[in-house]
């Protein structure tokens, strides 16, 4: 069930009316709000820890719904596998979503999970990321803060990812979480963890997303 609950009253409603015992918070909340919810909400809370970011409201992508005729909420994916087409043409790798060309990759480029919001389109004569450049959320730098805040679990985005991707990200996160649990006050971020996740990240950038808002 997806409800975009972002306050204690909404979480309490789902816990009392539907027996929900754990909620995955949307990726739009800063760390201080997550901390407050772990104190006030009557259920375990999970946060996104690694994976792509999205410019849309969670699960309500009008772009993919328009292209495929299917809601991500009902089919469980921004780009349903049945709608994705990869084409090899002239040394290039093209990807379409139900006929809509959303990107063209050179052989040397890393091609990630194809979504319209992270596609490259020609606008005003320039081909570039029109809506959003692919960027990965990575919470390892604030893992100790999340543990201290009382977060119950860290969610790894694995939708339409390969088993190898899931295994590698899970192994790194497991090692980091275990190290943090043993001694959260002296938790040290290891370079090999960040390097390992960088190799699996979507795009060339990693960020703390909404968790860190220095401008507030």
Query: What's the pTM value of the predicted model, to 2 decimals?
Result: 0.81
pLDDT band at 5 (very low <50, low <70, confident <90, very high): confident
Percent of the chain at pLDDT exceeding 70: 94
How high is the pLDDT of residue 205? 78
Helix, strand, coil shares of the chain, percent, nearest 5, are 40, 25, 40
pLDDT band at 178 (very low <50, low <70, confident <90, very high): very high
**Comparing 6-15, 34-43, 101-110, 146-155, which segment has the lowest mean pLDDT?**
101-110
**49, 154 in Cβ contact below 8 A?**
yes
**137, 50 in Cβ contact below 8 A?**
yes
The whole-number average pLDDT for the span 106-119 is 83
How high is the pLDDT of residue 3? 65
Q: Looking at the predicted structure, is the pLDDT value of residue 30 above 80?
A: yes
pLDDT band at 175 (very low <50, low <70, confident <90, very high): very high
How high is the pLDDT of residue 58? 60
Mean pLDDT, rounded, of the chain: 87
Q: Going by C-beta distance under 8 Å and a sequence separation of 6 or more, which residues neighbour residue 101?
A: 94, 95
Rounded to an integer, what distance in angstroms lies between the CA atom of residue 211 and that of residue 48?
Answer: 10
Q: Give the number of C-alpha atoms closer than 13 A to the C-alpha of residue 135, restricted to the C-beta side.
A: 15
Tens digits of per-residue pLDDT, 89-109? 888 999 999 889 999 998 888
Rounded to an integer, what distance in angstroms lies between the CA atom of residue 206 and that of residue 1?
Answer: 28
Q: Looking at the predicted structure, is the pLDDT value of residue 184 above 90?
A: no
- Tell me if residue 86 falls in helix, strand or coil: strand
Strands (E), 53-125: 84-89, 92-97, 100-106, 120-123
Q: Of how many residues is the chain composed?
A: 216
Tens digits of per-residue pLDDT, 185-197? 889 999 999 999 9
Query: 84: how many CB neighbours lie within 10 A of its CB?
Result: 18
């Amino acid at each position: 069930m997806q409800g975009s609950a972002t306050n204690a009253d909404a979480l309490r409603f789902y816990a009392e009316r539907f027996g929900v015992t754990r909620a995955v918070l949307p990726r739009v909340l800063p760390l201080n709000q997550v901390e407050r919810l772990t104190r006030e909400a009557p259920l375990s809370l999970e946060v996104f820890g690694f994976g792509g970011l999205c410019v849309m409201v969670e699960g309500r992508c009008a772009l993919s719904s328009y292209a495929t005729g299917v809601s991500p909420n009902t089919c469980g994916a921004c780009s349903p596998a049945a709608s994705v087409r990869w084409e090899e043409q002239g040394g290039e790798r093209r990807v379409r979503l139900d006929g809509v060309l959303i990107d063209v990759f050179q052989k040397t480029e890393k091609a990630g999970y194809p979504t319209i919001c992270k596609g490259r389109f020609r606008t005003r004569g320039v081909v570039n990321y029109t809506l959003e450049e692919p960027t990965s959320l990575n919470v390892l730098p604030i893992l100790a803060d999340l543990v201290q805040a009382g977060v119950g679990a860290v969610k790894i985005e694995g939708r339409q990812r390969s088993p190898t991707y899931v295994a590698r990200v899970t192994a790194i996160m497991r090692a980091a979480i275990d190290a943090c649990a043993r001694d959260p006050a002296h938790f040290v971020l290891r370079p090999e963890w960040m390097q390992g996740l960088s190799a699996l990240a979507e795009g060339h950038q990693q960020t703390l997303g909404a968790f860190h808002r220095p401008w507030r």
